[in-house]
Amino acid sequence: AQTVTQSQPEMSVQEAETVTLSCTYDTSESDYYLFWYKQPPSRQMILVIRQEAYKQQNATENRFSVNFQKAAKSFSLKISDSQLGDAAMYFCAYSLNTGTASKLTFGTGTRLQVTL
């Protein structure tokens, strides 16, 4: 079974600074997707960024970028120029590429605090 591990229960960053959230996963598959989801206090899950395992290039979305290391099974999220609105729970997630809809396996989450 696939597992996703987030070893940082809480992180803190100052506004405008950069922070990196860690995620490792375990799978015997070679074709899969990785995601970072944000869950603010409203508890609405918001997709931050996604990475396709067969793509070597790291995904980026504005201030958010990932460092995808397939061999090491590592998928970290870097948030640049942190903003107060970035404060939330961040979940790393994995899904297998089955060609059809596939379930998500989530990590335990990292709570990000953004301070002034």
Partner 1 sequence: GAVVSQHPSRVICKSGTSVKIECRSLDFQATTMFWYRQFPKQSLMLMATSNEGSKATYEQGVEKDKFLINHASLTLSTLTVTSAHPEDSSFYICSVPPGTPFGETQYFGPGTRLLVL
57 lines the binding site for partner 1 (CB under 8 A): no
**Which CB sits closer to partner 1, 86 or 109?**
109
**Which CB sits closer to partner 1, 16 or 47?**
47
How many Cα atoms sit within 13 Å of 41 on the Cβ side? 4
Residue list 72-91, contact with partner 1 (CB under 8 A): 91
Only segment of 13-21, 60-68, 79-87, 102-110 that touches partner 1 (CB under 8 A): 102-110
52 lines the binding site for partner 1 (CB under 8 A): yes
Taking the alpha carbons at both ends of the chain, their separation in whole angstroms is: 41
Chain mean position to CA 78: 9
Residues 108, 18: Cα–Cα separation, whole Å:
22
Q: Within 10 A of 18 (CB to CB), how many other CB atoms are there? A: 12
Site string for partner 1, 6-35 (x = CB under 8 A): ---------------------------x-x
Candidate residues 42, 56, 57, 62; the one interacting with partner 1 per rule CB under 8 A = 42
Residues 94, 40: Cα–Cα separation, whole Å:
20
